[in-house]
A and B are shown apart, each in its own frame.
Chain A
């Protein structure tokens, strides 16, 4: 499996779940199955799509480890034939090593669960603590866009950094989660979170 490949190979594959059956059963107790799809930015839009992702992320994609040909594994969670959610993980560079950030959402893209599949940090326990990861439950990509424009008054901005010594890993976590939700929004949710409240006032602003 890809998991096996990723262990022995350089990081040529995106983040796939180590144990999708167990994780999906835990997060979605009513699930009966899931469908896996491998998607690359290159196949879905190439450099133009990569530029769109960078604009939405507010940051450049890392030229070596976030190339457009890295396949992402998306898991569509099913109850019988009905779609009840999505699970997707991304790789993100942290201060002490690579992170793997896994998000489970409902069909609207609202976070149901977030966990680190891999985390290299001396404060890993604090980051993995449910008291921290659970704060993201219920958020959508809109909340992360709002954080970029209004960091102090957004829901994401209210989340405290669990690290006492390594703010870089908190920032990396937020970047990885934003990237994860952007990819989900583009590949599965028809860009439904493109419109977010503007920085000042209540007018709508379109993220392109």
Chain B
């Protein structure tokens, strides 16, 4: 297992769908989303925006040679479609669909191509600041929901904590005095649309509102979570392990000062009976004289058993991001394992990322 590629792959070897108590809900959910999207397109009083996305990634590992996937990123083309629907009283419904067709060059099976649904949610506004969300969306835990790393080389601890970033389910968010909170109930499957082995995920986060110079939050989760390999929507991922009972509490912080942007998070909890935990600190610096260039450093550590030092993973990453145009960025990162009980590895990535109309 590598800390920056937490879902260690055993493609081709995975037993496929061997668990009992399966409940495939993929087709009904996809059909419902299509119906909602079609209905939304016919409604009046709407604002919409469509973006195209291209992610080209090449990586090299000193242990594995050329690698085509890293940090949850693959070569892909995709789109994001946002539509707000209003009536005479204002916006009441928002639809967001973010889909990718990905290609994993390092996959040695016949499943290199995959369809990935990232955002696929509907927001229904009950009133100002009271919103119900339905679909596939960020699990409200830790740093990830407020950072959104879906296209970035540096990731948060979410993949170690949960095993996926987003889940199918229903959520609710609102304000509580000076704080915002969000809670969600999910089916605990990640990108795959299937509830198996009694999987579920309860999660929640409370923190300072977005847009502040200093932001912080506390979060927690509890549930039986599936690990789908690889994390994708179609073909269905291989759920070859039983659902795992996970408990977590976490704290996260972000601070923007001058040209620096500092992020950190720490989590603690259990995977079944094992005590697990980790921490992350990231500092980004945008050059004042060349504001299209951002340099970053990230250090992170994770242990699958707090009582066993041999199960600790630590890594240091250095990165640079250069915005060629507002829609086009070139990024590179070098990530070196500091501690790895398997085999220490150094990986280098180069990414070209387009996101525009």
- Residue of B at shortest CB range from A71? B49
Cβ of A31 and Cβ of B128 under 8 Å apart? yes
Cβ of B353 < 8 Å from any Cβ of A? yes
Cβ of B240 < 8 Å from any Cβ of A? no
Give Cα distance in the complex from A38 to B357, angstroms. Answer: 13
- Residue of B at shortest CB range from A115? B211
Cβ of A19 and Cβ of B210 under 8 Å apart? yes
With a cutoff of 8 Å between Cβ atoms, the chain A residues found around residue B209 in the complex are 18-19, 22
Given contacts A1-B96, A97-B291, contact A38 B47 (CB under 8 A): yes
Distance between B56 CB and nearest chain A CB, rounded to angstroms: 14
| Binary per-residue interface labels of chain A (24-61) against chain B in the complex, 1 for a CB within 8 Å, 0 otherwise | 11000001111111100000000000000000000000
Contact of B89 among A22, A81, A96, A128 (CB under 8 A): A81
Cβ of A122 < 8 Å from any Cβ of B? yes
Contact of A96 among B53, B127, B288 (CB under 8 A): B288
Cβ of A34 and Cβ of B80 under 8 Å apart? no
Cβ of A96 and Cβ of B80 under 8 Å apart? no
Give Cα distance in the complex from A18 to B119, angstroms. Answer: 17
**Which residues 1-35 of A sit at the B interface, judged by CB distance below 8 A?**
1-5, 7-12, 17-19, 21-25, 31-35
Cβ of A5 and Cβ of B327 under 8 Å apart? no
Give Cα distance in the complex from A64 to B125, angstroms. Answer: 36
**Which residues 114-139 of B sit at the A interface, judged by CB distance below 8 A?**
119, 125, 127-129, 131
Cβ of B148 and Cβ of A8 under 8 Å apart? yes
Total residues of chain B contacting the partner, CB 8 A: 52
Distance between B282 CB and nearest chain A CB, rounded to angstroms: 14
Cβ of A32 and Cβ of B90 under 8 Å apart? yes
Cβ of A98 and Cβ of B91 under 8 Å apart? no
Cβ of B180 < 8 Å from any Cβ of A? yes
With a cutoff of 8 Å between Cβ atoms, the chain B residues found around residue A17 in the complex are 211
With a cutoff of 8 Å between Cβ atoms, the chain A residues found around residue B51 in the complex are 5, 9, 12
Cβ of A11 and Cβ of B131 under 8 Å apart? no
Cβ of A9 and Cβ of B151 under 8 Å apart? yes
Cβ of B326 and Cβ of A36 under 8 Å apart? no
**Which residues 113-160 of A sit at the B interface, judged by CB distance below 8 A?**
117-122, 124, 128
Cβ of B328 < 8 Å from any Cβ of A? yes
Distance between B277 CB and nearest chain A CB, rounded to angstroms: 26
Give Cα distance in the complex from A65 to B213, angstroms. Answer: 23
**Which residues 148-199 of B sit at the A interface, judged by CB distance below 8 A?**
148-152, 175, 180
Cβ of A5 and Cβ of B258 under 8 Å apart? no
**Which residues 250-271 of B sit at the A interface, judged by CB distance below 8 A?**
256-259
Cβ of A167 < 8 Å from any Cβ of B? no
With a cutoff of 8 Å between Cβ atoms, the chain B residues found around residue A34 in the complex are 90-91, 128
Of the listed residues B328, B353, B357, the one surrounded by the most CB atoms of chain A closer than 10 A to its CB is: B357
Cβ of B128 and Cβ of A10 under 8 Å apart? no
Given contacts A19-B180, A33-B89, A34-B91, contact A121 B210 (CB under 8 A): no
Contact of A25 among B86, B128, B258, B259 (CB under 8 A): B128
- Residue of B at shortest CB range from A100? B211
Cβ of A67 and Cβ of B326 under 8 Å apart? yes
Of the listed residues B45, B82, B92, the one surrounded by the most CB atoms of chain A closer than 10 A to its CB is: B82
Cβ of A70 and Cβ of B288 under 8 Å apart? no
Give Cα distance in the complex from A95 to B96, angstroms. Answer: 35
Cβ of B256 and Cβ of A118 under 8 Å apart? yes
Q: What 4 pairs between A and B have smallest CB-CB spacing?
A: A33-B90, A18-B210, A9-B355, A18-B211
- Give residues in B with beta carbon < 8 Å to A: 45, 47-49, 51, 53, 80, 82, 84, 86, 88-92, 94, 96, 119, 125, 127-129, 131, 147-152, 175, 180, 209-211, 213, 256-259, 286, 288, 291, 323, 325-329, 353, 355-357
Interchain Cβ contacts under 8 Å between A and B, 24 examples: A7-B148, A8-B151, A8-B355, A9-B329, A10-B323, A10-B327, A11-B326, A18-B209, A18-B210, A18-B211, A19-B209, A19-B211, A21-B128, A21-B131, A21-B175, A25-B129, A32-B89, A33-B92, A64-B326, A67-B326, A70-B326, A81-B88, A96-B286, A97-B291
Additional A-B contacts beyond A25-B129, A122-B258 (18; CB < 8 A): A4-B148, A7-B148, A8-B149, A9-B53, A9-B327, A10-B323, A10-B327, A10-B355, A21-B131, A22-B180, A25-B175, A33-B125, A33-B128, A36-B84, A38-B47, A80-B89, A97-B286, A117-B211
